[in-house]
Structures are given as C-alpha cells and as structure tokens.
Structure 1
C-alpha cells in the first residue's frame, strides 16, 4: 500500500475500507487452501514468518511441513527471524452431533464448545508435528518463538457470534501486530530524540568561552578523547580477532566433514534417493535447469543439491553463528555486545550539567549511539551475506556441471546426468569447500575493517568539531536539553 493510500485510509468509513484491494487480498489469504510464507522480498529479511494454512492441509498434507523445514534451513542462523506464527483459518460451520460422535464428546456439548474443542485439538496436532521434526530442524527452531493461532474472522465480525471474540484469537493477532508497531515507533522516536540531543549538546558546548585556561583545558580534554578512541579501537580489534579465529576453526572442521560426506549425502538425498526411477529423471533434469534446486507446486517435493552440499559447513558454524549473531538473547561474545561496550567516554557524569565538558560528553555519546545503530544494520547484513555465501559459492562452482547435465538427451540420459553430477562433486569437493571457507572469512575481514574505519573516522570528525574556533555566540539551549532528557 502506498503512503498516500495509507493516509486516505484514515478518512474512509468501515464499508469503504472493506471494498479496498488490500482488504480483498486479506480475505483471500484467510480463505485460501494453500500454504504461503511471509510476503518479504527476501526470506532472510523477515523478522517474523507467518505460515498461513487451512486446517486440513496443515494437519494432513506433507507439503506444508516440507516447506517449513526448507524455510528453517534457509533461514538458519543466517537470518533474523524472531518468530514463526502458524495461522490456521477455521470455519464456524460444524455438525454438532457428528463432531461429538467422532470426538466421543457428550451429545449435550454446545456448538461453541465443539468449535473450541476442535480449535484446541488443532493447536495440539500442529505442535506435535513440530515436535516430530528431525533433530537438526528442531535445533534451528529453538532460536524462534513459535505460536499457533486458530482464527475465525467470520465469528469475529458477526453481531451474534457462536463463539466470543477472544475465542476467535483475532484479538491475539492484533496484539502481536500492535506490539510490533509500538516497538518500531519507540525505536524511531528514540533515534530522533538522540539525534536532537546531540545537536543541542553541540550548540551548548560551543558557546563562546572567554577564559583562556578553560580553552586550554578543553584542548587537553579532546586529546584525551582521541587517546581513548585509539584504545577502544584496539580492544574492539582484539575481540574481532578472537571471533575470526573461532570462525576459522569451525569452517576448517566443516571443510573436512564436507569433503568426507558430500558425495554420499548428494547421492542419497538428491542424485539417487530412490530405487524407483520412474519420473524422477524429470525432477533431476528440472533441478539441473534451475541451478541445483527444485520445488514442486504443492511443496510435496523439495530438493536442493547446493543446500545438501552446504549442510556440513552450515552445521559446523551454526552454533558459533548463534553466539556471534544472536537474535533474541545475549551471549557475552556477540559482535553487537562488543560494540555496545565500545565508548571513548571513560568517566561519565563527572562534570556539572552546566559544564561545557558535560555537553561535549553528551554530544559524543549521542554520536556513538548513532554509529552503533548504523553498525547494527551492517551486522545484520554481513550475517546474511556470510551465511548465504556458503550455498552461493557452491552453486557458482557447480553451475557449469548443472548446465552440462541439463543438456543431456537421449537414451540413458538419466544415468548420464547422475554420473556428471557425481563425478563433478568428486573432482571439485576439496577446492570447492576450501573456497567456501575463504569466502566466508573474506567477508568477515572486510566487515571488520569497515567497522573499525567507520567508527574511527566518524568519531574523529566529531572530536574535531570542538577544535573549531568561532566568534559566534550561540543561544542558551539548556532548557531544551532538559526537555529532551525527560523524554
């Protein structure tokens, strides 16, 4: 929805809103019998994945669960997903007697209680299915908060519904969205206030000073800040070196396991997963045409040779990635926590509030906060790039092989495709996985240098601002600063 459309929405009546395209899309989404994943352009950009499903497909079909496993593997520690929400759209139509008989409930059970019982059973079945996912997928899912909503939009909007509004679970979904919106607004407001505080502190600290002794003291104070910057950067560099060494060890182990396991994994999972080859040659051909990945329309069959080959590498860095780049918790060793500790203000609040030095410190702190927020976004991007590079490097190395296999025709083409894939993996495996390791480390080293250079140049510029002399007498903005401090 465009910004202008959002603004217009506030002026429309409920009836006008109901016929808008966006509302039609939502209605179609809630009544559709297919499975969809969040509409994010890039799966790894999702902060919350919503799996939307009609109840029959969610509890009986293989497709939704294959899709879920695939998406979790793709998200892995390389994503920033914080929650997975299953939304089961429920109908209010239920045959009371038949349902009571099938569920062995008393015949006197009301329709409302039947609906609530069915919804409760649905939640239970969904959670049981999650519990029975393979150990590797379950381990990855420990990073996410998981919830199941059984929603009924029809009952929510009815004047005299069979079930009460809270039981439709739509209010719970509304709370999830409201809290998400509030957190975003709080973050935006915090950034705005921090920026304004920095500007006012800079103005207040630069008010014309006539005392030469004070000017000299100011110069010494700024020199101390520069020394503190060098020390803080050295400490940050030490932490980066430790992280890099840990990553190197995990990747080295991943290379060894990948070389040992890749061919067997590729054969059993993708190249020759079944003794019945009828029809499978078409799937393998389609996989080669799509650079190593294949997904059937109903998600019943999901194959990804690149991901299969990447799995040992990912497995060996998953735990370290979760320590370095955690989503919902502190580990004591994360890059973000090291950045949060970074500061060139070593003795805070040692000067009176009216003091020039107090305002200099305030300005530097606001600049540090702004820089750290910018670095946080870079951390998320490098996290995604490093994790994605594992599969991407493998895919790039395997692409000529896929093209060659896809062009095979005629009698015996299936076996020829299998041989091309097998022989290529065997010949490339040591070189390919070593390149994977080097690519991941290269991206980390580049990121490390960027963060250090960025913090150094920006904070040096901030310090230099106070060395500039001026003949201008600025306004006293102490009252404005106090107002922002209250906020």
Structure 2
C-alpha cells in the first residue's frame, strides 16, 4: 500500500482500514478500480463498508476538480460497473434551498461532514452557555431555537411478508447483523410490530418492549368470555390465553385476570407498560426476545408474552445504515386489539418505502403478498407518504437441480431464474388497477436476494443477491436527510440574528426593509390563497360526482360484501365478526372485509386522481407543496445588493426562518393529507355504526338474515344524506388546511421580520458571536461547495479539550 491510499483513508476518517488495505495490496491505481464486489470482500463489516463505498464514489466523481493529488495522468481510472444511483454527481448550485441541498462527504479543507456537525454542535452548546439568564422573550426565543436544532426525523421502511418468507433473515443481512432478529424454525408472531433502528451512542444492543394497556387486555378477555359461537376469533383467544396463563387458563375468572402472580416475569406490564432489555451481543438479545415476539416454542410449557406486546423497538449500536432509517417488521392488518391496530395504521401511513417480501419460487403467483399490497395501497399512497415499493424475492440462490454454484450451468440457471422472476412480478403489478391509482410503475422495483449467501459471503456474482442494492437504498435515505446541512444552516441563521441584534445602527434602513418585506409577504400570501382556492373548486367538483355515483351503486356494493359468492349458513360467523368490529374483519384465511371502505369506494375513486396531483408523495410539487416551495420574501437576492449591506445578517436569519417554515408546513401538509383522505371512509364508518351495534346483538336462529336486513335497511334510510356528509367532512378538513397554511406563514414570518429588525432592547446583553459566526459560515460554505474569500475568514478557535480527534480527521 502506498502513501496515497494511507492519506486518503485518514482524510475519510477510516484509518482503521489501513492494515486491511495493506494486507490486500491496495495501491493508488487499484483503489480506483475497486468494484462493489471487491469492497464487500475487502470490508466485511457493513458500517465501515458503506462509508468507504460512498466516499470512494464521490471521490472518483470529484477527483479532477477537488483534489489535485488525483489528477496524475499516469493513473488509469477504472469506470465503475455498479448500477448505483448517480445523484452524487450533481454539483450543488446556489439556487437550491439549504434544506434541499445534499451535503458532500469529501468536504474542501480539513473537515469531513461528521467533523463539521460535531464542531458546530459544540459551538452552539458554547453559545447557549453564554446567553444571559434573563426573563426576556428574545433570549427565550434564542435558547429554544438552539435546543431545537438537535431534533431529528427518521425515514420509515415497512417490511411486509408472511411467516417463512424470510423477513427476519433479510433485515439481519441488510444491516449486517446476522443474529439480531430470530428466524428459522420458530414460528413468528403475526401481531407484534418490530422496529429496528440505530443507537449511535450506546455500545450495547437494546430492546424496548411496549405492552398494550391493561384495559385493552381486560376488554379482549371479556370479549372472549362473551363469545358463545366459538368461531375463528375464539380459537385465537384460546391460543393467547394458553400462552400467557398456561393450561390452567380455563380456571381463571375475569376478577383474577390481572393478579400479579400471572405476571411475575413481566411486572412492567402492570406498572410502567414498558420493559427494556440490554445485552452485549445481538445473539444474546435475540435469544431473550423470543418470548415476546414468537408464538411457538420447543418447550411445551414455556410462556409467551406476545399477546400483551404492542411493539418492540430493537436498537443496534453504531450502525450507519440505520442512522436516519427505521425498519419496521409489520404484521398484516385487522388486529382485534385497538391499540395495536391504531399503531399499525399510524406506522403504515408513515412509511416512505415499503418492502414486500416473498419466496422467489412463488413470487408472482403467491396470493398473500399481492393481497397485502391491494389492502394497504390507499393507506400507503394517497392516505400515506410512501414514495417507493420494493418487491423482494428471497432465496434467489435456490436451484432445483443443485446447490453447487461453481457449476456454470447451475450458475446460469440461477441468474435466468432471477431475471424471469423480475419480469413476472412486474407483469403482475401492472394488472393491479387499484394499486396503480396510487403508485406508478417507476415507484415499483423488484429485487432478488439471498440472505444466506450474502451472510456466508460465498456468492460468485453480485447478481445472485441484491442485498448490496438494498443497502444502497438505506444509504440514499440517510443521505436525503442532510442532517449536517440543516443543522449548520439553522445555526448560522441564529448566530446571524444574535450578531445583527447587537447593532443599533441603521434604524432608518431597518424600517424601510421591514416595510418592504411586509409588502412582499402580503403579495406572496395572495399567491398562496389563489392557488389553493383553485384546488378547492376541483375537489368540490370531483366529490359531487362521487356522491351521485355512491347513491346509485351503494346497494350493489353492500350486497357484494354481505352476500358473497358461495356463502353458506356458516357465513353468519364471519358477518358477526364484521359487525362486532365496526364493519372491518380480516379472516384468518381470506381477504380483508371492509364494508365502510367498499361503501366509500365511489367517493375515493372520484377523488383519487385529483388527490394524488394535489398531495403527491414525491417531492415538493402539487398546488400545496408547490406554492410553499415557490414562496419567497426575496431575502437571498437582497443580500447580494449593496443597499442591504447593513442588514445582511438580519436577511440571513430571515432566509433561514423561511426555509424552516417551509419544512414545518410540508410536514403539516404531509400529516394532514392522511386525515383528509381517510375522512371519507371514517365518516361512512361513523354513519354505519348504529346498524353494526344493532346487528351484533342478534343470536340464535335467523341471525344471518336479521343482520343482513338490519344493515340493508339502515343503508336504504341513510344513503341520501350519508355520502353528502362524507363529502362535507372532507371539504371542511381541506378548507381548514387552506386557512391554516397562510395564517401560519403570515404569523411566523411577520414575527421573524419584527424580531430580526427590532431587537434594540437586548443588544447590550447579547454576547459577541462574530468569531463563532465566521467559523459556522466557513463550514456552511464548505458544505455548499463554495469558497470563502480571505476577507471573510474568521480567526479559528482551538478545539475543545478532548475533542480534536473526534472533530478533525
């Protein structure tokens, strides 16, 4: 290994790989030629590997402009054959907003991105300590905003798939921790949600177990005792009770249900509602988690607590791929427990990406994965924030004739099988008309993976398992966060406000600027209102047509649910479950039954296309997000003009506040649109509830007929008003959002204008932060890919004690 590679690893904060590269004789020329397959063999641990791959990729792209060392013409740069995303090739330009710019890893100067973030965080902690302890609104504002800089958001990936599809093995392989989630012969529970995320500070493996409430369990127990028909739900309840209380469950009365003796191993269920497990290794934690996440055991009398568990959050130490990403192993929907069902809906609606996992041999024909997609598409699409669906075919290394991958014929057969699976799955997806209302073909991707071969590292060709491509998906989601740039940009705004507030000069110019900004604000708000009003009219027209269609088709739609084909007398048990659960029931072996969604289908069909255009999940487009993106007080342009030189600091703060406000409004729109979309079905459910409550009371002979007649009669009496009520509910929620957006924009930006241009009263008590601002400015410009003139250079301060090594590579 030559000095070039050693220096490059040091600059990338990857000095621990020096010996590895030396052992494998990686020199300057071979560094350029490394492919994904080589990197995977060279660096087995996923954390350092992902960092190395990312830094090398960006370094290759920028080698001719950012680092004179690499322009040596004697080195032949080997082109990469990897099909990874080339977003990193796009240079940042000054027209982009700070929140949307992607930070670079190979920062100009002596800092890495991680070093910049660490340094600026230290700076802001010092500034916070400098602020006086005064009961002053401006000082309170500064302190709150500095503390709020630390807030983070995680992208959610929902992982669906039936037991045995290989979900646990897939997650273990992708994040590079072989024994984290239990997999294999033990049957996984179908109700517990498992979140997997990183803990970048704690070196141990940790699991946070959240239980359902005591009240929920008592209600479920009482429902079980009142179930006289002993159908499908009854058998499920028997299994749960046997797991929790053992064979003697039949002798337990409702009064003794919550006795402490039954919960000696989990006293937290009766007290705090949470239990935390901490272990040194993934394998130890996995072994401990079995009783909370698995439904069967090799030990006949071993207890299982999953019926009481709502969610398990597993935290993996120092895993860069999970730094801003959370993987959620999601069960199917239709859980009787209300708290679990509520959490399921919330998590599904919050997924930005969905992985649907199934065995490659039945990928296109397997019924369950496609049912999951059909049943959840509206909650993921218009009713959620999902941007991409990944259909993952597992066990791609399987060959019926042989497992000897060294045999060229077997190897070719495996590759052909994988390619054919992709073709078949995409063809099946294109048949799903209801799904394609929410997701275009470009949102849908197919991967073929072998977790076993990846973890064994015996594959001969990277195409045999696309686990590395899924790791790239995680890395791109991490990159999209721009945590460093957002933090530095907002810190720069706060410091600019503080330094600008220290000066009481230029009162006239401040007054004139304020007047101009307020006029600009008024004009921009008019544009916002005008754009959203056009959307309101479009929604009104779509829904009016949907109401008329619903009134005509509702009887037929209802009959398709309560008079299904080949339904005999035994259907009364299924319909009983439907009415007992408010019109929604998921049979153990069958498709989801949702009377409310069926009755609302004409309304949702009428609005789906317009809704997707108005609230797209991809990017900041559409009437709402688009008009907010275009909103501007012109601060950036003003900063370049000489007449605004004396208020440049104040304008810097205002521009930061503007971007912060846009981010907050986008989040409000993203969350509110889910409620707006689901309001149609929610209102139908509310209007149908009286007939469900009445129908579930029927017993004995004629129960099925009486339930059907009750539901039909209720629909006949209410159809002329019910669908109008649903339309009115959606329109009210839309109008409320239309009012809130300009009001919030006006209120927040008006306060920011006043705060930045009229802060004379506190100027003497504020610390001088010119040095800190100069340093943060340099970091900001480095992240943006621009240079700072020598005149703007601030005197660097020394590193805080004990932090030099952590901050500067």
TM-score range, shorter chain: 0.7 to 0.9
Query: Residue 308 of structure 1: CA displacement?
Result: 0.5
Residue pairs, 1:223-302, within 5 angstroms: 223-268=515-560, 270-298=561-589, 300-302=590-592
Query: Can you give the 5+ residue segments of structure 2 that lack an aligned partner in the other structure?
Result: 1-195, 206-279, 295-328, 334-343, 784-809
Q: Which has the larger share of helix?
A: 1
> Which one of the candidate residues 782, 793, 797 is aligned to 1:486?
782
Give the alignment partner of residue 8 of structure 1, picking from 203, 209, 213: 203
Does structure 1 conserve the Cα–Cα contact (< 8 Å) formed by 2:542 and 2:607?
Answer: yes
Shift of 1:182: 1.8
Provide closer, same or farther for how the CA distance between residues 195 and 109 of structure 1 changes in structure 2, counting only shifts above 3 A.
closer
- Structure 1 pair 399/37, CA: closer, same or farther in 2 (3 Å)? closer
Distance 1:295 1:314, change over 3 A: same
- Please say which of residues 201-210 and 335-344 is displaced more in the overlay: 201-210
Q: Secondary structure at the match of 1:274?
A: coil
Q: CA deviation at 1:380?
A: 0.5
Question: Cα deviation per residue 1:140-179 (whole Å; 9 max; x = unaligned)?
Answer: 3317611122211121132544x43442111111111111
Choose from 37, 55, 66 the match for 2:371: 66
Q: Does 1:206 align with 2:501?
A: yes
Matches within 5 A, 1:15-164: 16-21=281-286, 36=331, 41-56=346-361, 58-90=363-395, 92-96=397-401, 110-133=409-432, 135-142=433-440, 145-158=443-456, 160-161=458-459, 163-164=460-461
> Cα distance 1:157–1:486, how it changes in 2: closer, same or farther (>3 A)?
closer
CA contact (8 A) 2:396 2:448 kept: no
Q: Deviation per CA, 1:51-109, whole angstroms, max 9, x where unpaired?
A: 1222355443323322221111333422111111122221645342799xxxxxxxx86
- Deviates most, 88-97 or 119-128: 88-97
Deviates more, 1:400-409 or 1:470-479: 470-479
Does residue 773 of structure 2 align to residue 476 of structure 1? Answer: no
For residue 317 of structure 1, report the CA deviation from its aligned partner.
1.0
Q: Retained in 2: the 8 A contact 1:204–1:476? A: yes
Unaligned runs of 5+ in 1: 100-107
- In the alignment, the residues of structure 2 paired with residue 339 and residue 18 of structure 1 have an alpha-carbon distance, to the nearest angstrom, of 48
1:75-474 matched pairs, under 5 angstroms: 75-90=380-395, 92-96=397-401, 110-133=409-432, 135-142=433-440, 145-158=443-456, 160-161=458-459, 163-184=460-481, 186=482, 188-210=483-505, 214-268=506-560, 270-298=561-589, 300-328=590-618, 333-345=622-634, 347-352=637-642, 355-465=645-755, 466-470=757-761, 472=764, 474=768
Change (3 A) 1:167 1:143: closer
Shift of 1:19: 5.0
Q: Distance in 1 between matches of 2:468 and 2:197?
A: 26
Conservation of the 8 A alpha-carbon contact between 1:326 and 1:334:
no
Closer, same or farther: CA 217–416 of 1 in aligned 2, 3 Å: same
Is residue 415–residue 463 contact of structure 2 (8 Å, CA) maintained in 1? no
**RMSD value, Cα:** 3.2
State the partner residue of 1:103: none
Q: In the TM superposition, what is the alpha-carbon distance from 1:375 to its structure 2 partner?
A: 0.5
Distance 1:323 1:445, change over 3 A: same
- C-alpha contact 1:250 1:317 (8 A) present in aligned 2: yes
Partner SS for 1:409: coil
Specify whether residues 6 and 166 from structure 1 end up closer, same or farther in structure 2 by C-alpha distance, changes over 3 A only: farther
TM-score, normalised on structure 2? Answer: 0.53
Instruction: State the SS of the aligned residue for 1:245.
Output: helix
Equivalent-residue separation in structure 2 for 1:264 and 1:462 (angstroms): 56
Distance in 1, matches of 2:441 and 2:716, equals 34
The TM-score with structure 1 as length reference comes to 0.85
C-alpha change, 1:177 and 1:18, in structure 2 (3 Å) is: farther
Paired with 1:118 and 1:181, the residues of 2 have a C-alpha distance of 32
Relative to structure 1, the CA distance from residue 369 to residue 271 in structure 2 (aligned partners, 3 Å threshold; closer, same or farther) is same
